[in-house]
Amino acid sequence: MNKVTVVGSINLDTNLRVKRMVKPGETIHAKEHYSAGGGKGANQAVAAARAGAQTAFIGAVGDDAPGEQMLGLLKDENIDVAGVATITNESTGQAFITVDDEGENAITIYAGANFAFGAKEVAEKKDLLEDSDFVIAQFETPVEATIKAFEIARAAGVKTILNPAPGEEKISAELLKVTDMITPNETEAETITGVHVKDEATAKEAAAKLHDLGVAVVIITIGSKGAFYDYNGVGELVPAFKVKAVDTTAAGDTFIGAMSSVLKPDFSNLKDAILFGNKASSLTVQRYGAQPSIPYQKEIQL
């Protein structure tokens, strides 16, 4: 069983289902409204835990009802939340998600407590980070917190996985220096490298640029086409499972969390782990919501 520690965001999601996306200045009716657990970090942690990993979390919530709710949801997944701080006079992060009948989504995030912790709080969880097989982070929390977490992990021989989402044109060289694997989707890969990723050839071109930034393992997810990996001179597109998507929210997070639960720290089973992640995300997109849609290990078995 892999030990996975996620440094990341925790959000309470407010979801709206609509026939089509609203236009500027327009008012439309929603078909459904519901709340659920979310945040890229929390989604990835839930995906790892449900796929069988021993999972821990480092992050923050506000001193409010949504914070209590989110901590309860993570505890229900048997995720170690000792590293989650409760910040006084701060709101728990929230996301407002609209999903149309084609399964596409539009998301607006209020970070709140997700940006109220930093390197100091991460350093206090040094033992937790060092006792991991993988440490995962995204860009929904302060970069200095991620750098500190990855520095601690790298010094202990723990592998680091950076999910560069939301996409940023320039990633800290200090962070890349301690990143073992980077996992952008096609849009994020284009934001970072300038290469429009649409197929295996363009994914390989983007991967080469990401390698030039100093990252050994590159995985670029390309929606319904699958995931392209490039490592140690080998590059290949691992096809996605063909399904009817109703909501793509948390698909990428599910892929990363599930993959990390079975990936060997020496990356010797990288392709098989990607296939496992693809299967998990194919189940997620057939359901509504972020965390409610994430599958369990027994469902993912290939």
Q: What percent of the chain is modeled with pLDDT above 90?
A: 91
pLDDT grade, residue 202 (50/70/90)? Answer: very high
Q: What is the reported pLDDT for 102?
A: 87
As a whole number of angstroms, the distance between CA 64 and CA 276 comes to 37
Q: What is the reported pLDDT for 133?
A: 98
CA 279 and chain centroid, separation: 16
Candidates 212, 253, 266, 272; catalytic one: 253
**What is the average pLDDT across 255-261?**
98
Say whether 160 counts as a known binding-site residue.
no
Q: Is 133 a catalytic residue?
A: no
pLDDT at position 2 over 90:
yes
As a whole number of angstroms, the distance between CA 277 and CA 215 comes to 21
Under 8 Å between Cβ of 58 and 122: yes
Q: What is the reported pLDDT for 78?
A: 98
The whole-model pTM stands at 0.94
Q: What is the reported pLDDT for 247?
A: 86
Instruction: Note the pLDDT tens digit of each residue in 59-78.
Output: 999 999 999 999 999 999 99
**What is the token pair recorded at 14?**
């407010």
**What is the average pLDDT across 17-25?**
95
Say whether 247 counts as a known binding-site residue.
yes
pLDDT grade, residue 289 (50/70/90)? Answer: confident
Say whether 50 counts as a known binding-site residue.
no
pLDDT grade, residue 192 (50/70/90)? Answer: very high
Rounded mean pLDDT of the chain?
Answer: 96
Say whether 266 counts as a known binding-site residue.
no
Say whether 249 counts as a known binding-site residue.
yes
As a whole number of angstroms, the distance between CA 277 and CA 170 comes to 27
- Look-up of token digits 């069983």: 1
pLDDT at position 302 over 80:
no
pLDDT grade, residue 12 (50/70/90)? Answer: very high
SS3 of the chain: the string is CCEEEEECCCEEEEEEECCCCCCCCCCCCCCEEEEEEECHHHHHHHHHHHCCCEEEEEEEEECCHHHHHHHHHHHHCCCEEEEEEEECCCCCEEEEEEECCCCCEEEEEECHHHHCCCHHHHHCCHHHHHCCCEEEECCCCCHHHHHHHHHHHHHCCCEEEECCCCCCCCCCHHHHCCCCEECCEHHHHHHHHCCCCCCHHHHHHHHHHHHHCCCCEEEEECHHHEEEEEECCEEEEEECCCCCCCCCCCHHHHHHHHHHHHCCCCCCCHHHHHHHHHHHHHHHCCCCCCHHHCCCHHHHCC
Say whether 83 counts as a known binding-site residue.
no
Q: What is the reported pLDDT for 104?
A: 84
Domain 3-293 fold is: UDP-N-acetylmuramoyl-L-alanine:D-glutamate ligase (3.40.1190)
**What is the average pLDDT across 56-61?**
98
Say whether 52 counts as a known binding-site residue.
no
Instruction: Note the pLDDT tens digit of each residue in 98-153.
Output: 989 988 888 898 999 999 999 999 999 999 999 999 999 999 999 999 999 999 99
